[in-house]
Amino acid sequence: QVVESGGGLVQAGGSLRLSCAASGRTFDSFAMGWFRQAPGKEREFVALISWDSDQTFYADSVKGRFTISRDNGKNMVYLQMNSLKPEDTAVYFCAGYNTGSYYLAGSYGYWGQGTQVTVSS
């Protein structure tokens, strides 16, 4: 089970930190990712972190502004979002990576319900 939190309303240029609480004894065996979905659009890849935090990957649209991290001792994954833009407005989802291309939603399982992020201009 995966539960996201930390979303909210923020002005452009502001920051938010999303959290993802994952249950299960094998959490530290999975790479974990963040996706987002804006109204009327497909779910899109945001960031991925390997099981040991050794590797991270980002969508070009968030590179340099967002940082993904994890704490395996607490079964937590985080997404620090800085310099937010109105186009970052979306529901943000955390998910466990299974297999396949890491930027495709179909490569992930164990999706949470998402947390809404709204950036006002």
Structure confidence by residue, pLDDT tens digits, 15-52: 999 999 998 767 778 899 999 999 999 999 999 999 99
Write the burial class of residue 22 (CB in 10 Å: 0-12 exposed, 13-18 middle, 19+ buried).
buried
Using the structure block, give the residue that is written with the tokens 């094998």.
26
Question: Average pLDDT of 71-96?
Answer: 96
What is the rounded distance in angstroms from the CA atom of residue 95 to the CA atom of residue 115? 13
What is the rounded distance in angstroms from the CA atom of residue 42 to the CA atom of residue 49? 21
Q: Which of 68, 72, 13 is nearest to 36 (CA)?
A: 68
Per-residue confidence band for 13, with pLDDT thresholds at 50, 70 and 90: very high
Q: Is the distance from CB of 20 to CB of 35 less than 8 angstroms?
A: no
